[in-house]
Amino acid sequence: MDYSHEISVTVNGTVQRTRVESRVHAADFIRHQLGLTGTHVGCEQGVCGMCTVLVDGQAVKSCLLLAVQLDGREVQTVESLGENGGLSDLQQAFKDAHALQCGFCTPGFLMTATALQREGRALSRDEIRDEMSGVLCRCTGYEGIVDAVERHLGGEGDD
Partner 1 sequence: MKPAPFAYVRPASVADAVRQLSENAGSARVLAGGQSLVPMLHMRLMRPEVLVDINSLGGELGGIEPRGSETVIGALVRYTELETSPVLAERLPLLPRVVRHVGDRQVRNRGTIGGALVQADPTGEIPLACLALGAQVVARSAAGERTIPIEEFFDGSYASALEPEEMLVSVRLPLSPQHCAFFERGRKHNDFALLSMAIVANRDGDGSWRSVRIALGGVNDRPVLASAAAERLEGRAWDVGDVEEAVRLALDVVDPPDDVRASAEYRRHLVPIHLGRLLRELGGEA
User: H-helix or E-strand containing 58?
Assistant: strand 58-61
- Closer to partner 1 by Cβ: residue 1 or 15: 1
In the complex, the residues that contact partner 1 under the rule CB under 8 A are 1-3, 5, 21-25, 28, 44-46, 49, 52, 58-61, 63-66, 68-69, 112, 115-116, 130-134
Q: Are 75 and 114 in contact (CB under 8 A)?
A: no
- Closer to partner 1 by Cβ: residue 104 or 142: 142
- Closer to partner 1 by Cβ: residue 58 or 95: 58
- Closest distance between partner 1 and the C-beta of residue 84, in Å? 29
- Closest distance between partner 1 and the C-beta of residue 85, in Å? 29
> Of 107, 111, 90, whose CA–CA distance to 157 is shortest?
90
> Of 46, 132, 47, whose CA–CA distance to 94 is shortest?
132
Whole-Å CA distances, 111 to 22, 61, 103, 132 = 25, 10, 14, 10
- Closest distance between partner 1 and the C-beta of residue 118, in Å? 13
